[in-house]
C-alpha cells in the first residue's frame, strides 16, 4: 500500500478506545478433561530452563519452537520479518519452525489431539478452532506467568501493564482451579461499511446515517451500474452476521448480544434481532449480486477495488489484505452501520470495535514456555509498532503506534472511532465459544441475504441452533456479564 497520508493521529486516543471493548466477557468452564484426544500427549517431554532476569519464563534457550500463523487479512510478514527475527536475536540457539495456513482447524486440531501440537498458534479465519473446547480440554497454556513477566522492551513494567485495559480479561476464563488467562487477543479491529472515498466523492455520494438514507444511496449506486452492497457467501458470511448483529446492538444495546452469548431462551427472537434481520434482508433482496454467494472474500473485495461493488461490510484488516489490488483511483474509507429505526437506543455514530485475532501457547506441546516467550516478543512495543506498519491494524500494546503515519483506511477508522466516543461496543463472543452456533449463523445469514429468507426464518433458525447448544451437555458453557 503506497497511498499513505501524512496525518499524525492521536494514537493514545485511539488505543484508549480499546478500553471500551473486550472487558465484559467472563467465561466460566470446568476443566473437564486433560485432552480431547488423550493418550500419548500426556507423556510428551517438555522443554524447560532456569528462570532469571534475562529469562523470566524459564525457557530452555536451546530448545526449538514451532509457530503456526493464520494467512489472512493481516498477512504473515509480521511473523516472518519482525517477531521471529526478534525472538531469534534474543535466543540464537533456539530454532524457530514457522508455517502459515488458511485452514487452522483442519491443520492444527488433529495435532492438538495427538499431542504433536505447535508451541504457539494463531487461531483465526473461517476454519478457526473452537477455542472454548480447547480451554475445556486443557490444551491452551495458562498465560499467567507471561502477563506477570517483565515487558520485553519496556523497562519497569510487566507485560500486562503495557497493554490496554481489558486486553488480559478478554482471554481470561473461569476454571475449576480459578480464573486464568489462556489467550492473547492481539489485534484491535474497527468494523463498519467500507467504501472507495474517491468513487463517492466523484459521484457526490455521502455516508448515510438513517436506513432511508442508506436505501436511497443504494438506489443511486444501482442506477450508476454498480452493485450497491455485497459480501462473499462462500467463506465470509460471518462478515454479514456481524453486520446484522451490529445493527441489532444499535437498536437494542449490547445487552441483546450478551443474551445471545449467554444462550438465553428467546434471545434470537428479540425485537432488535428481527428488526435488524428485516432491514438487511431487504438489502439482500434488492441490492446484492446473487453470484457473490459462491465467491470467496478476496474475489468480492477485488470487485470493490474495481468499482464494481460499492459498499462492503468488514473489519480494519481489509485495506492491508487488498494492498496489492489498490489502484490510484481507490482510497479506502469506512462508515458506521446506519440507524435501522428512528428509535435505536444507540446513536448512528455508535460502532463495533474489539480486540481480536487469538494467539495461544499449547499446553501439550514440546515447548509451551517457548511459545509464551514468542508471545512476549509479540507484545513488545517494537514488535507491535512494526505490526501496525505492516498490517495497518492496531494492537493491544498501549501507545505502541504513537506518532505513526498511517493509511487512508485506518485514518478513516480512527475518525469514526473518535466520533463514536463512548458508544463503542465489543459485539458478541458466541462465534468463538460455540462453533456449532457460529456455523449456524453463517448459514442463516446467507439464506437471509441470498436465498430469499425472511427475518422470522432467520430468527427461528438461530433460536433453534442456540437452544440445541444450550441443551448439549457435552459443550462447555460460558457466561458473559
pLDDT digits (tens, 9 = 90+) for 162-175: 988 778 988 888 77
Binned at pLDDT 50, 70 and 90, residue 44 comes out as low
pTM equals: 0.73
Least confident of 182-191, 260-269, 326-335, 376-385: 182-191
Dist CA 406 CA 188 (whole Å): 15
Q: How many CA atoms lie within 13 A of 417 on its CB side?
A: 29
Burial (Cβ within 10 Å: 0-12, 13-18, ≥19) of residue 155:
exposed
On whether the CB atoms of residues 415 and 120 are closer than 8 A, the answer is no
Residue linked to cell 451437555? 473
pLDDT tens figures, 407-428: 999 889 878 887 988 898 888 9
Q: Is pLDDT above 70 for 343? A: yes
pLDDT at 126 over 70: yes
- The boundaries of every CATH 3.40.190.10 domain in the chain are 11-188+354-425, 191-351+429-471
75, 162, 358, 387, 472 from 82: Cα distances, Å: 12, 19, 18, 8, 43
Cα–Cα distance for residue pair 373/368, rounded to 1 Å: 9
Residue 2 reports pLDDT greater than 90: no
| Element at 17 (helix H, strand E) | helix 11-18
Among the listed ranges 110-124, 226-240, 304-318, 422-436, which one has the minimum average pLDDT value? Answer: 422-436
What torsion do the CA atoms of 161, 165, 167, 169 make, to the nearest 10 degrees?
100
Domain 11-188+354-425 matching CATH 3.90.870.10: the answer reads no
Residue 272 confidence (pLDDT) above 60? yes
How many Cα atoms occupy the beta-carbon half-sphere of 95 within 13 Å?
2
| The domain made up of 191-351+429-471 is a member of CATH 3.40.1670.10 | no
DSSP-derived 3-state class of residue 394: strand
Amino acid at each position: 500500500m503506497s497511498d499513505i497520508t501524512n496525518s499524525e493521529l492521536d494514537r493514545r486516543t485511539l488505543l484508549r478506545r480499546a478500553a471500551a471493548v473486550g472487558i465484559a466477557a467472563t467465561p466460566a468452564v470446568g476443566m473437564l478433561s486433560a485432552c480431547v484426544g488423550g493418550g500419548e500427549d500426556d507423556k510428551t517431554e517438555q522443554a524447560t530452563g532456569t528462570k532469571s532476569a534475562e529469562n523470566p519464563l524459564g525457557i530452555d534457550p536451546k530448545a526449538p519452537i514451532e509457530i503456526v500463523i493464520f494467512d489472512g487479512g493481516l498477512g504473515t510478514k509480521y511473523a516472518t520479518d519482525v517477531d521471529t527475527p526478534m525472538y531469534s536475536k534474543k535466543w540464537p540457539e533456539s530454532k524457530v519452525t514457522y508455517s502459515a495456513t488458511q485452514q487452522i482447524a483442519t491443520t492444527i486440531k488433529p495435532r492438538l489431539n495427538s499431542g504433536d501440537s505447535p508451541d504457539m498458534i494463531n487461531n483465526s479465519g473461517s476454519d478457526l478452532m473452537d477455542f472454548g473446547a480447547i480451554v475445556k480440554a486443557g490444551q491452551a497454556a495458562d498465560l499467567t506467568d507471561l502477563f506477570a513477566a517483565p515487558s520485553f522492551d519496556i523497562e519497569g513494567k510487566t507485560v500486562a501493564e503495557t497493554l490496554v485495559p481489558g486486553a488480559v480479561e478478554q482471554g481470561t476464563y473461569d476454571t475449576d482451579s480459578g480464573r486464568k488467562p489462556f489467550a492473547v487477543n492481539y489485534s484491535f479491529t474497527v468494523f463498519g461499511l467500507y467504501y472507495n472515498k474517491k468513487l463517492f466523492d466523484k459521484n457526490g455520494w455521502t455516508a448515510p446515517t438513517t436506513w432511508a438514507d442508506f436505501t436511497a444511496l443504494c438506489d443511486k449506486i444501482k442506477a450508476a451500474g454498480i452493485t450497491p452492497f455485497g459480501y462473499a457467501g462462500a467463506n465470509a458470511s460471518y462478515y454479514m452476521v456481524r453486520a446484522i448483529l451490529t445493527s441489532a446492538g444499535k437498536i437494542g444495546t449490547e445487552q441483546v448480544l450478551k443474551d445471545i452469548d449467554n444462550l438465553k431462551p428467546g434471545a434470537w427472537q428479540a425485537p432488535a434481532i428481527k428488526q435488524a434481520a428485516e432491514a438487511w434482508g431487504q438489502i439482500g433482496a434488492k441490492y446484492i449480486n446473487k453470484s457473490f454467494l459462491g465467491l470467496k472474500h478476496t474475489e468480492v473485495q477485488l470487485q470493490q477495488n474495481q468499482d464494481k461493488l460499492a459498499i462492503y461490510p468488514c473489519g480494519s484488516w481489509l485495506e492491508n489484505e487488498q494492498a496489492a489490488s489498490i489502484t490510484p483511483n481507490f482510497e479506502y474509507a469506512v462508515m458506521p452501520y446506519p440507524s435501522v429505526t428512528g428509535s435505536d437506543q444507540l446513536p448512528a455514530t455508535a460502532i463495533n470495535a474489539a480486540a481480536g485475532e487469538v494467539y495461544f501457547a499449547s499446553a501439550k506441546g514440546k515447548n509451551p514456555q517457548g511459545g509464551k516467550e514468542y508471545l512476549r516478543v509479540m507484545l513488545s512495543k517494537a514488535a507491535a509498532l512494526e505490526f501496525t506498519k505492516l498490517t495497518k491494524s492496531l494492537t493491544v500494546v498501549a501507545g505502541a503506534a504513537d506518532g505513526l503515519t498511517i493509511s487512508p483506511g485506518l485514518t478513516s477508522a480512527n475518525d469514526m472511532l473518535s466520533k463514536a466516543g463512548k458508544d463503542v461496543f465489543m459485539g458478541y463472543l458466541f462465534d468463538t465459544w460455540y462453533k456449532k452456533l457460529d456455523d449456524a449463523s453463517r448459514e442463516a445469514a446467507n439464506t437471509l441475504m441470498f436465498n430469499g429468507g425472511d427475518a422470522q426464518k432467520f430468527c427461528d433458525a438461530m433460536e433453534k441452533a442456540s437452544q440445541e447448544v444450550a441443551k448439549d451437555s457435552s459443550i462447555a458453557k460460558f457466561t458473559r456479564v
